[in-house]
């Protein structure tokens, strides 16, 4: 299932005694299942030629095997190997650039002292002026404790920094939003909440990222109550919005009514909880949530407040049992759990024209090739498969709309509006089983999502100008 990816791209500097051996090198790479991206001659000498071959591998072990195989080819020597992903992150992904020129004494007098003192006094007299006179109006803190980094687990604050840098870069690239990583070296809820409260005056919004459940729920809930700027846990709500948008279009493709289908959500962590809540709010006919203990019911032991809410508002028939029982006859499966938890037999038991979102990363709950044998529509979180459910479709535009409106909080109506707007980008003439959500590079995405969120914020009276 795994395919060569740019995330495991390497450049090998190869020395040959005969230029005609380049073909043997590229053939070796192809035989090992990697893909050649570029060939560049670096040096030419009478007795040897040096060239760079850039190729995409499947993983780090695969890259090592490529080097070994090339070195075993007669008349070749690998001088060096460069990991292109590591080079991209060398020195970090983001920087700070002034928006105004600082070339003359007058420039310095206005941007800094003594002129800046007047700006400080204006904000002291009217704290709300900070939104117009500082970066606050277009800035977001990307906050993590490093406890749930991608699919890698608890790596800690320092190891989470590259992901937060990447998130900040995506905020700017797609939404024009200035974001900054805030990696907190603590797993204590009180410390995290207090830290964010203390830095909040610098920001127009807080994006929580890669914080493990159930801690993430308490942190978001408390920050939303104490701050006058919007707080958004992207792993929860960003995922839920894209899932809902994709599901709206998937149901249109198979011709099923939104309010009449039965959906199963596998995994009741951060993403699964938010997805379930949003599907219920959107009017899905019936939702069944399944975790390690099986189908959630009010009688399931050890439920916290969030899971208790899910148990009370889903599984209308109060069925019990396992994933096998939940999927029998179901129309939709949304998996946010782990690799290999769903079998072909599970999908074969689902209803006609089933829809399967297998979103565990990097490896989904079931091989999408196998899933497509049984389901009409299959989506994953992977970029090498059609229908990628990717949060970058949401958070840049979502925060763009919040910041433009000067929103003080986030409502479920904003999330529903964002999902409808995202779904609407894929028109009737192009919607298909392999195209239910737009590309992240579609220029219509951010304006559609931001416009919907801004309108919802004003309608909900959460904007100063509403």
Catalogue the active-site residues.
112, 167
- 308 in Cβ contact with 239 (< 8 Å): no
Please provide the DSSP assignment of 146-180 as one string: SSSBTTTB---HHHHHHHHHHHHHHHHHHH--EEE
- 363 in Cβ contact with 339 (< 8 Å): yes
Q: 12 pairs with which residues across the strands?
A: 53, 81
Summary count for the chain: helices (H), strands (E) = 18, 14
Run of H or E including 254 = helix 239-254
- 397 in Cβ contact with 446 (< 8 Å): yes
Helix axes 270-282, 215-226, angle to 10 degrees: 60
User: Measuring CA to CA, how many Å separate 65 from each of 31, 32, 84, 347?
Assistant: 12, 8, 17, 36
Q: Which letter does DSSP use for residue 133 in this model?
A: H
Closest to 386 measured CA to CA, from 334, 443, 437, 428: 437
């Amino acid at each position: 299932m795994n395919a060569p990816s740019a995330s495991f791209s390497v450049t090998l500097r190869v020395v040959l005694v005969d230029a005609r051996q380049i073909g043997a090198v590229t053939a070796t790479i192809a035989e090992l299942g990697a893909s050649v991206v570029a060939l560049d001659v670096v040096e030419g000498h009478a007795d040897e030629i040096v060239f760079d071959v850039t190729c995409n591998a499947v993983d780090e072990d695969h890259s090592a095997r490529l080097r070994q195989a090339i070195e075993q080819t007669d008349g070749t020597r690998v001088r060096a190997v460069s990991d292109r992903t590591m080079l991209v992150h060398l020195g970090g992904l983001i920087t700070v650039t002034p928006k105004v020129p600082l070339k003359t004494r007058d420039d310095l007098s206005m941007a800094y002292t003594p002129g800046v003192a007047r700006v400080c006094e204006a904000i002291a007299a009217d704290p709300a002026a900070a939104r117009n006179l500082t970066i606050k109006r277009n800035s977001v803190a990307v906050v993590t404790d490093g406890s749930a980094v991608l699919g890698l687990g608890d790596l800690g604050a320092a190891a989470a920094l590259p992901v937060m840098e990447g998130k900040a870069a995506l905020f700017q690239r797609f939404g024009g939003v200035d974001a900054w990583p805030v990696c907190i070296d603590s797993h204590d809820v009180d410390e995290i909440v207090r830290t964010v409260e203390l830095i909040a005056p610098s920001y127009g919004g807080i994006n929580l990222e890669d914080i493990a459940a159930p801690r993430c729920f308490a942190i978001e809930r408390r920050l939303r109550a104490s701050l006058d700027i919007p707080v958004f846990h992207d792993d929860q709500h960003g995922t839920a919005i894209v899932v809902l948008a994709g599901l709206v279009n998937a149901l249109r493709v198979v011709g099923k009514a939104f309010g009449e289908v039965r959906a199963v959500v596998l995994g009741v962590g951060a993403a699964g909880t938010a997805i379930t809540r949003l599907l219920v709010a959107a009017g899905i006919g019936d939702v069944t949530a399944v975790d390690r203990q099986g189908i959630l019911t009010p009688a399931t032991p050890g439920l916290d407040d969030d899971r208790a809410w899910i148990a009370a508002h889903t599984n209308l028939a109060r069925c019990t049992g396992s994933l096998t029982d939940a999927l029998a006859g179901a129309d939709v499966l949304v998996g946010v759990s782990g690799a290999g938890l769903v079998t072909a037999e599970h999908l074969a038991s689902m209803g006609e024209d089933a829809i399967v979102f297998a979103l565990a990363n990097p490896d989904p709950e079931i091989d999408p090739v196998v899933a497509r044998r049984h389901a009409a529509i299959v989506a994953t979180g992977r970029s090498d498969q059609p229908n990628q459910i990717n949060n970058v479709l949401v958070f840049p535009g979502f925060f763009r709309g919040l910041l433009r409106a000067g929103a003080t909080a986030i409502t479920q109506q904003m999330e529903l509006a964002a999902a409808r707007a995202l779904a609407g980008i894929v028109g009737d003439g192009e919607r298909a089983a392999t195209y239910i959500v737009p590309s992240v590079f579609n220029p219509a995405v951010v304006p559609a999502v931001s416009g919907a969120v801004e309108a919802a914020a004003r309608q909900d009276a959460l904007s100063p100008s509403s």
